[in-house]
Amino acid sequence: MDEAALQRLRSAFDPERFRQQGHDLVDRLADYLGAALTRQAGPVLPWVDPEGQLGNTPSISEDAGPEVPEIVGDLLHRAFHLHDPRTLGHQDGLPVPAASLAGLLISTLNNDPSVYETGPAVVPIEVRLLRWMCDELGFPGDAGGVLTGGGSLGNLTALLAARQAKVGRDSWTEGNRPGEALCVLVSEQAHYCVARAVKIMGWGDDGFVKVPVTDDFRMDVAALPGALARAREAGRRPIAVVASACTTATGTFDPLPEIADFCSEHDLWMHVDGAHGASTVLSPQYRSRVRGIERADSVVWDCHKMMMTPAVLTGVLFRNARHSYDTFRQEATYLFEERPDEEWYNPGNRTVECTRSGMAVLLYTALRVHGIGLFRDYVTRCFDVARSLSDLIDASPDFELAVEPDANIVCFRYRADPGIDSDRLQSRLRQKLVSGGSFYLTEAELDGNQFLRCTAQNPFTGEQDLCDLLDHLRAEASALEERSGTTNASGLAQEG
Ligand SMILES: Cc1ncc(COP(=O)(O)O)c(C=O)c1O
C-alpha cells in the first residue's frame, strides 16, 4: 500500500477531526432538539414522494466527498421529526438525550457483548438491566433473559424456548418431527411477527390458531377452550398461548390472569408479547392493566417503544432463566464452550444474533442518569395524553372512538355524512394531515372498518395539540365532503 493510502486511513481516524466534527454534531443536534420539541423544525414530516427522496439522496462514490457536518445538515433537513409534539403516529420511541449520547459512545467503542471478552464492561450492564426488568415484571429471583434486536426477534426467541420446554425432547437439536404439527394459540389482534415467528419455525399457517376477540379487541378467554379443542381435533399440538400486552392496533391488554389460569390448567407455555406495553409495569397509576404478567413463562419487552431508548433494544425475559439456556445450544469453539448454563457472561449462547451492539448501555445510561422515576413518569404521562385525546373525542359528536384506550394508543374516526364512504374519508384525512406536515398519525383497520390511529409517545404533546388535531381533521373533512358532494353524491370513492 502506498503512503498516500495509509495517510488517508490515518486522516479518517484523526482524533482532532473527530473532536471537531463531534462538537459540531452535538451542537447541531441540540439545536435540532430544541426546535423539534417546540415545533420549530418545520413540517412534522417534510413530505417528498419516495422517488423524489431517492433522487435527493447522493449516491456513493470512489472519491472523498463532503465532511460529516454537511451530511448531518442534509439529513436533519429531510428527517421525520419524531420529537415534534404533533407526531402521534407509530410506536417509535422518543429517545431521551442521555440515551442518544450513549449511542455515540457504543458506536465508538463497538464492544460486542456476545461474549464477555469483547464486551467486558457491557455484559455486566446487560445483566444488571435484565435483572431490573425481571424485578419490575414481578418475576422471581431465578428469572433471567437476554437482550435482542427488536420485538420480532424477541418473540421468535421466546417461542423457540417454549418449543424446547414443552415438546418433551430436544427440539433444538432434532428439529421439527414429521407429523408433530405444533402450534400456538394467539389472539386475532396479535402483531404479525408472531405468525412470522411460527412460520420461521416451520409450522406454516396452521402453526397459529387464532383466538377470537371480544368487542373491545381483547382475547376472548371464553373462546380459548374451543380453540384448543379445534386445534387438537385438527391433529395439532398446541404448546403455548401468546397474549398481547398490549395489541398494536388498539393498545388493548389481553386478560393476563385468566390466560395464566388457562395455561396452567392445560400445561401450556404462557408468552406475553409486551413489546409495546410491558413498560406499563413502571407506572403506579396504570400498572394494574398488566396484572398477571408476572405469571408468564416469557415476556418480550421493547425498550425502543416506551422506554425513551433509540432503536433497537428488546428484553426477552423468562420467569425461569434456565429456559433461556435451553435453546440455541451450539458448538462454536472459537467463541464459547457448550456449557451454556455455566456461562451467563457469554450471552451470545442464547441469542439469534452473533454480533450485537452494546444496546444495553443506551437504557442503562439513561436509567443511571435520571433514575427509574423518570421512566415511571414518562409512561404515566403518555397514557394520560391518550386519555385526554379520548376524552376530547368522547365529547365531540363529530368523532367516535373505536374503543376506550387501555394504553397510549387511540383509534377513532370522523363520523362521515350519510352517503360518504367513511373508510375512504379516514384515509384521505390522514393523507391530508400527513402530507401537509401538520400532524403525523396512522390508520388501522378494525372489524373491516378504517380508523385513524394515534400513539402518544411524546410527553410534551399538550391539550392544545390534541384540540388542534381534531380541528384540522374537521376542517379537512368538511372540505372533502363538500368537494365530494359537488362532484359525486356517492362519496369519496372517485374523489382524487
Ligand atoms: C405488540 C407488538 N409486538 C411486536 C412488535 C414488533 O416489534 P419490533 O418492531 O421491535 O420488531 C410490535 C411492533 O410494533 C408490536 O406492537
Query: Which residue type sits at 455?
Result: T
First to last CA, the chain: 61
Atom 14 of ligand 1 has which residue's CA nearest to it?
Answer: 248
Assigned domain for 116 exists: yes
Of 370, 395, 414, which closes a domain?
370
pLDDT of the residue at 331: 56
State the Cα–Cα distance between residues 204 and 181, nearest whole angstrom.
9
pLDDT digits (tens, 9 = 90+) for 44-80: 999 999 999 999 999 999 999 999 999 999 999 999 9
pLDDT digits (tens, 9 = 90+) for 238-256: 999 999 999 999 999 999 9
| pLDDT above 80: residue 336 | no
Assigned domain for 78 exists: yes
Q: What is the per-residue burial (b if ≥16 Cβ within 10 Å, else e) of 331-347?
A: eeeeebeeebeebbbbb
State the Cα–Cα distance between residues 84 and 34, nearest whole angstrom.
10
Residue ranges making up the domain that contains 65:
18-84
pLDDT of the residue at 99: 98
Average pLDDT over residues 462-468: 98
Q: Which of 191, 246, 279, 307 to probe ligand 1 with, by most ligand atoms within 8 A of CB? A: 191
Query: Among the atoms of ligand 1, which is closest to the Cα of residue 304?
Result: 10
SS3 label, residue 452: strand
Using the structure block, give the residue that is written with the C-alpha cell 472519491.
Answer: 63
Q: Which of 187, 193, 279 to probe ligand 1 with, by most ligand atoms within 8 A of CB? A: 193
When comparing pLDDT for 487 and 252, which is higher? 252
Q: Could you tell me if 238 and 324 lie in one domain?
A: yes
SS3 label, residue 185: strand
Q: Could you tell me if 187 and 319 lie in one domain?
A: yes
Q: Could you tell me if 261 and 292 lie in one domain?
A: yes
Q: Could you tell me if 396 and 467 lie in one domain?
A: yes
Pocket of ligand 1 contains residue 276 by CB under 6 Å: yes
| pLDDT above 60: residue 494 | no
pLDDT digits (tens, 9 = 90+) for 338-382: 555 568 899 998 999 999 999 999 999 999 999 999 999 999 999
Q: Which of 149-158, 165-174, 397-406 has the lowest mean pLDDT?
A: 165-174
Pocket of ligand 1 contains residue 152 by CB under 6 Å: yes
Domains of the chain: total: 3
pLDDT digits (tens, 9 = 90+) for 312-334: 999 999 999 989 888 887 655 55
Count of all residues that appear for the chain in the document: 496
Assigned domain for 383 exists: yes
Pocket of ligand 1 contains residue 273 by CB under 6 Å: yes
CATH number at residue 330: 3.40.640.10
Instruction: Return mean pLDDT, the chain.
Output: 94
Q: Could you tell me if 115 and 259 lie in one domain?
A: yes
Residue 417: Cβ within 10 Å count: 15
The alpha carbon of 406 and the centre of ligand 1 are apart by a number of angstroms equal to 17
pLDDT digits (tens, 9 = 90+) for 93-112: 999 999 999 999 999 999 99
| pLDDT above 90: residue 421 | yes
